[in-house]
Chain A
Amino acid sequence: SQQGEEDPQALSIQEGENATMNCSYKTSINNLQWYRQNSGRGLVHLILIRSNEREKHSGRLRVTLDTSKKSSSLLITASRAADTASYFCATGPTGTASKLTFGTGTRLQVTL
Protein backbone atom coordinates (compact mmCIF):
# COMPACT_ATOMS: atom_id res chain seq x y z
CA SER A 1 0.00 0.00 0.00
CA GLN A 2 1.14 3.56 -0.55
CA GLN A 3 2.92 5.24 2.30
CA GLY A 4 2.51 8.77 1.02
CA GLU A 5 -0.36 10.80 -0.23
CA GLU A 6 0.50 13.74 -2.41
CA ASP A 7 -1.47 16.79 -3.29
CA PRO A 8 -2.40 18.19 -5.57
CA GLN A 9 -2.77 15.22 -7.91
CA ALA A 10 -2.29 17.59 -10.82
CA LEU A 11 -0.94 21.13 -11.05
CA SER A 12 -0.85 23.45 -14.04
CA ILE A 13 1.15 26.67 -13.91
CA GLN A 14 2.79 29.11 -16.27
CA GLU A 15 6.49 29.33 -16.84
CA GLY A 16 8.18 31.50 -14.25
CA GLU A 17 5.69 30.72 -11.50
CA ASN A 18 6.50 28.62 -8.45
CA ALA A 19 5.12 25.12 -7.99
CA THR A 20 4.46 23.59 -4.58
CA MET A 21 3.70 19.93 -4.02
CA ASN A 22 2.89 18.34 -0.69
CA CYS A 23 3.41 14.85 0.63
CA SER A 24 2.03 13.20 3.75
CA TYR A 25 3.13 9.88 5.16
CA LYS A 26 2.02 7.53 7.88
CA THR A 27 4.91 5.91 9.74
CA SER A 28 8.29 6.89 11.14
CA ILE A 29 10.92 7.51 8.52
CA ASN A 30 14.68 7.61 8.15
CA ASN A 31 14.55 10.03 5.26
CA LEU A 32 12.23 11.39 2.62
CA GLN A 33 13.16 11.72 -1.04
CA TRP A 34 11.69 13.38 -4.09
CA TYR A 35 11.84 12.00 -7.60
CA ARG A 36 10.84 13.23 -11.04
CA GLN A 37 9.46 11.06 -13.82
CA ASN A 38 9.17 12.25 -17.39
CA SER A 39 6.50 10.66 -19.59
CA GLY A 40 6.41 7.29 -17.87
CA ARG A 41 10.14 6.79 -18.08
CA GLY A 42 12.63 6.07 -15.32
CA LEU A 43 12.72 8.13 -12.16
CA VAL A 44 15.37 10.73 -11.44
CA HIS A 45 16.43 11.38 -7.86
CA LEU A 46 16.05 15.07 -7.02
CA ILE A 47 16.76 15.54 -3.35
CA LEU A 48 16.87 13.69 -0.03
CA ILE A 49 16.09 15.14 3.38
CA ARG A 50 16.93 13.30 6.56
CA SER A 51 14.47 12.93 9.40
CA ASN A 52 16.52 15.30 11.57
CA GLU A 53 16.53 18.04 8.93
CA ARG A 54 13.81 20.61 8.42
CA GLU A 55 14.74 22.25 5.15
CA LYS A 56 17.04 21.59 2.24
CA HIS A 57 17.87 23.40 -0.98
CA SER A 58 19.22 22.25 -4.31
CA GLY A 59 19.25 24.78 -7.13
CA ARG A 60 15.64 25.81 -7.76
CA LEU A 61 14.34 23.12 -5.42
CA ARG A 62 13.43 23.64 -1.79
CA VAL A 63 12.23 20.78 0.38
CA THR A 64 10.79 21.03 3.86
CA LEU A 65 10.06 18.25 6.30
CA ASP A 66 7.81 18.36 9.35
CA THR A 67 8.08 15.04 11.15
CA SER A 68 5.53 16.08 13.78
CA LYS A 69 2.94 16.43 11.04
CA LYS A 70 4.42 13.64 8.92
CA SER A 71 4.51 15.89 5.91
CA SER A 72 6.90 17.34 3.37
CA SER A 73 6.70 19.89 0.61
CA LEU A 74 8.64 20.40 -2.60
CA LEU A 75 8.89 23.89 -4.00
CA ILE A 76 10.15 24.48 -7.52
CA THR A 77 10.91 28.15 -8.07
CA ALA A 78 10.85 29.98 -11.41
CA SER A 79 9.44 26.94 -13.19
CA ARG A 80 10.33 26.09 -16.76
CA ALA A 81 8.53 24.09 -19.43
CA ALA A 82 11.19 21.41 -18.95
CA ASP A 83 9.95 20.91 -15.38
CA THR A 84 6.79 19.32 -16.78
CA ALA A 85 6.77 15.83 -15.26
CA SER A 86 5.32 13.72 -12.48
CA TYR A 87 6.86 14.20 -9.05
CA PHE A 88 6.88 11.52 -6.37
CA CYS A 89 7.86 11.58 -2.75
CA ALA A 90 9.31 8.40 -1.32
CA THR A 91 10.05 7.49 2.27
CA GLY A 92 12.86 5.37 3.60
CA PRO A 93 11.72 3.63 6.78
CA THR A 94 13.67 3.42 10.00
CA GLY A 95 15.48 0.14 10.54
CA THR A 96 15.43 -0.99 6.93
CA ALA A 97 16.87 1.87 4.97
CA SER A 98 16.88 -0.06 1.74
CA LYS A 99 13.18 -0.12 0.97
CA LEU A 100 11.43 2.94 -0.44
CA THR A 101 7.69 3.50 -0.38
CA PHE A 102 6.33 5.93 -2.92
CA GLY A 103 3.58 8.47 -2.71
CA THR A 104 0.78 8.85 -5.20
CA GLY A 105 2.52 11.54 -7.23
CA THR A 106 1.76 15.01 -8.57
CA ARG A 107 1.54 15.67 -12.31
CA LEU A 108 3.00 19.10 -13.02
CA GLN A 109 2.32 20.89 -16.29
CA VAL A 110 4.28 24.07 -16.99
CA THR A 111 3.01 26.06 -19.93
CA LEU A 112 4.72 28.83 -21.86
Chain B
Amino acid sequence: SAVISQKPSRDICQRGTSLTIQCQVDSQVTMMFWYRQQPGQSLTLIATANQGSEATYESGFVIDKFPISRPNLTFSTLTVSNMSPEDSSIYLCSVALGTGGNYGYTFGSGTRLTVV
Protein backbone atom coordinates (compact mmCIF):
# COMPACT_ATOMS: atom_id res chain seq x y z
CA SER B 1 0.00 0.00 0.00
CA ALA B 2 1.08 3.58 -0.63
CA VAL B 3 2.64 5.83 2.00
CA ILE B 4 1.88 9.54 1.89
CA SER B 5 4.00 12.28 3.38
CA GLN B 6 1.95 15.42 3.98
CA LYS B 7 3.23 18.75 5.18
CA PRO B 8 2.98 21.00 6.98
CA SER B 9 1.31 19.09 9.79
CA ARG B 10 -0.11 22.30 11.20
CA ASP B 11 0.05 26.04 10.68
CA ILE B 12 -1.40 29.22 12.06
CA CYS B 13 -1.95 31.83 9.37
CA GLN B 14 -3.12 35.40 9.14
CA ARG B 15 -6.34 36.10 7.30
CA GLY B 16 -5.84 37.19 3.71
CA THR B 17 -2.73 35.06 3.22
CA SER B 18 -2.36 31.74 1.41
CA LEU B 19 -1.01 28.36 2.48
CA THR B 20 0.23 25.58 0.23
CA ILE B 21 -0.05 22.01 1.45
CA GLN B 22 2.08 19.29 -0.11
CA CYS B 23 1.55 15.55 -0.45
CA GLN B 24 4.26 13.19 -1.62
CA VAL B 25 3.37 9.56 -2.37
CA ASP B 26 5.95 6.78 -2.40
CA SER B 27 4.47 5.24 -5.56
CA GLN B 28 2.87 6.45 -8.75
CA VAL B 29 -0.87 6.96 -8.55
CA THR B 30 -3.33 8.18 -11.13
CA MET B 31 -5.68 10.14 -8.90
CA MET B 32 -5.15 12.04 -5.70
CA PHE B 33 -7.98 13.39 -3.61
CA TRP B 34 -8.11 16.44 -1.37
CA TYR B 35 -10.52 16.60 1.57
CA ARG B 36 -11.47 19.21 4.12
CA GLN B 37 -12.57 18.35 7.64
CA GLN B 38 -14.07 21.25 9.52
CA PRO B 39 -13.88 21.19 13.33
CA GLY B 40 -15.91 18.32 14.74
CA GLN B 41 -17.21 17.39 11.30
CA SER B 42 -16.74 14.64 8.76
CA LEU B 43 -14.65 14.77 5.59
CA THR B 44 -15.81 16.63 2.51
CA LEU B 45 -14.14 16.08 -0.85
CA ILE B 46 -12.70 19.29 -2.29
CA ALA B 47 -11.34 18.02 -5.60
CA THR B 48 -9.77 15.15 -7.49
CA ALA B 49 -6.32 15.81 -8.93
CA ASN B 50 -5.24 13.99 -12.08
CA GLN B 51 -1.76 14.27 -13.47
CA GLY B 52 -1.67 16.24 -16.70
CA SER B 53 -5.14 17.73 -16.49
CA GLU B 54 -7.11 20.24 -14.49
CA ALA B 55 -8.41 19.13 -11.14
CA THR B 56 -12.08 18.29 -10.85
CA TYR B 57 -13.78 20.31 -8.11
CA GLU B 58 -16.81 19.34 -6.09
CA SER B 59 -19.82 21.57 -5.70
CA GLY B 60 -19.05 24.48 -3.42
CA PHE B 61 -15.31 24.50 -4.13
CA VAL B 62 -13.64 26.62 -6.80
CA ILE B 63 -10.20 26.70 -8.35
CA ASP B 64 -9.56 30.33 -7.43
CA LYS B 65 -9.93 29.52 -3.75
CA PHE B 66 -8.30 26.06 -3.78
CA PRO B 67 -5.83 25.85 -6.67
CA ILE B 68 -4.30 22.40 -7.06
CA SER B 69 -1.16 21.31 -8.83
CA ARG B 70 -0.31 17.79 -9.94
CA PRO B 71 3.04 17.98 -11.73
CA ASN B 72 3.70 14.22 -11.68
CA LEU B 73 2.26 10.92 -10.52
CA THR B 74 3.72 11.10 -7.00
CA PHE B 75 3.12 14.68 -5.92
CA SER B 76 0.33 17.22 -5.48
CA THR B 77 -0.24 20.52 -3.76
CA LEU B 78 -3.38 22.24 -2.52
CA THR B 79 -3.33 25.97 -1.86
CA VAL B 80 -5.85 27.62 0.40
CA SER B 81 -6.01 31.17 -0.91
CA ASN B 82 -7.04 34.46 0.68
CA MET B 83 -7.79 32.69 3.93
CA SER B 84 -10.46 33.61 6.42
CA PRO B 85 -11.21 32.07 9.83
CA GLU B 86 -13.87 29.90 8.15
CA ASP B 87 -11.04 28.07 6.38
CA SER B 88 -9.76 26.74 9.70
CA SER B 89 -9.93 22.99 9.17
CA ILE B 90 -7.91 19.85 8.73
CA TYR B 91 -6.95 19.26 5.13
CA LEU B 92 -6.12 15.74 3.98
CA CYS B 93 -4.88 14.16 0.80
CA SER B 94 -5.68 10.60 -0.16
CA VAL B 95 -4.88 7.97 -2.77
CA ALA B 96 -6.39 4.61 -3.60
CA LEU B 97 -4.70 1.54 -2.15
CA GLY B 98 -5.17 -0.44 -5.32
CA THR B 99 -6.76 -0.42 -8.72
CA GLY B 100 -9.74 -1.96 -10.41
CA GLY B 101 -12.43 -0.88 -7.98
CA ASN B 102 -13.37 -2.11 -4.51
CA TYR B 103 -10.25 -0.80 -2.83
CA GLY B 104 -9.59 1.22 0.29
CA TYR B 105 -7.73 4.49 0.45
CA THR B 106 -4.71 5.69 2.33
CA PHE B 107 -4.55 9.19 3.76
CA GLY B 108 -1.88 11.68 4.59
CA SER B 109 -1.51 12.62 8.23
CA GLY B 110 -3.41 15.86 7.68
CA THR B 111 -2.67 19.58 7.91
CA ARG B 112 -4.36 21.37 10.78
CA LEU B 113 -4.89 24.95 9.65
CA THR B 114 -5.90 27.76 11.98
CA VAL B 115 -6.65 31.16 10.48
CA VAL B 116 -6.54 34.13 12.82
Q: Report which A residues bind B (CB closer than 8 A).
A: 2, 30-31, 33, 35, 40-45, 48, 50, 88, 90, 92, 97-105
Contacts and interface: CB of A to CB of B under 8 A. Distances in A.
B77 to A, nearest CB: 17
Q: Which 10 A-B pairs have the closest CB atoms?
A: A45-B104, A97-B101, A42-B107, A42-B109, A43-B107, A102-B43, A102-B42, A42-B110, A31-B102, A48-B104
Interface of B: 4, 6, 31, 33, 37, 41-45, 48, 90, 92, 94, 96-97, 101-110, 112
Nearest to A101: B45
Looking at A44, A45, A50, the one whose CB has the most chain B CB atoms below 10 A away is A45
9 contacts: A2-B42, A41-B109, A43-B107, A48-B103, A48-B104, A92-B101, A98-B48, A100-B105, A102-B43
Contact of A100 (B41, B45, B108, B112): B45
Q: Chain A's interface: helix, strand, loop or mixed, by majority?
A: strand
Nearest to A105: B42
B101 A30 contact: yes
Contacts of B112: 40
B106 A45 contact: yes
Given A40-B90, A90-B43, A98-B48, 4 more contacts: A35-B107, A41-B110, A48-B103, A100-B45
